[in-house]
Amino acid sequence: MKNSIEFNLKPIGSEIAKVGEKGENFLKSHGLSDDRVQKQIMVIRELIKSGISFENGKLTGNDLSVHIFIEENTVITEIRKPVNEPTHNNQLQALDKTIQWIRGYQDPFTPFMMHARQTSKTSDCSDSNSFGLAKIAYEAGAIIDFYVSEDNILNLSAVSQLKAEN
């Protein structure tokens, strides 16, 4: 059985729904519980939303890809999207700041609730992308990271540990 799957898509609603369906089938084929599958589908959708925010008018066709890897007790979900580093520099800095902000708490419940209650007006992390990333960290227990490759591809990932499910 393959331990990875890749989807290329146009970032529109119907394409995102197809990725959710294919991702769900792939994850279920690896024996993940319905609860874990739903958490991973949420991870996929939130990463896609974050990736879509990096608009690049020069791109055509399928400019966003989703990769899901399952290794032993780990699920790695990654989206890849071409970016123009000079154009997107402020967004990349905000993404880095958001991820560091989430990591700054030992329990991801804290930043998640700060967003849910909208009490963090001075954190500079009040946009919906940072809420989605905090949601991934809290609800899926994922570690979030990103880098921009030498060929200007944004690689945004979430790593979730699969715990023994009772």
CB 46 within 8 A of CB 53: no
Residue 75 has pLDDT above 60, yes or no: yes
What token pair was written down for 41?
């589908």
Collect all residues with Cβ–Cβ distance below 8 Å to 80 and sequence separation of at least 6: 51, 64, 65, 67, 153, 154, 155, 156
Return the higher-pLDDT residue of 14 and 138: 138
Query: 73 forms bridges with which residues in the sheet?
Result: none
Q: What is the pLDDT of residues 95-144, one digit of tens each?
A: 898 888 787 766 666 666 665 555 445 444 445 677 888 889 888 889 99
Q: Give the DSSP H or E segment for 146.
A: strand 142-148
Least trusted range by pLDDT, from 22-36, 79-93, 115-129: 115-129
In the prediction, which pLDDT does 119 show?
A: 41
Phi/psi for 47 (5° steps) reads -65, -40
What mean pLDDT do residues 21-37 have? 93
Residue 145 CA to residue 100 CA, distance in Å, equals 9
Q: Spell out the domains of the chain, with CATH numbers in brackets.
A: 4-161 (3.30.565.10)
For residue 80, give the nearest of 158, 133, 8, 154 by alpha carbon.
154
pLDDT > 70 in the chain, percent: 77
Q: What is the pLDDT of residue 113?
A: 61
SS3 156: strand
What pLDDT, on the 0 to 100 scale, is given for residue 69? 95
| pTM for the model | 0.81
Burial of 127 (0-12, 13-18, 19+ CB in 10 A): middle
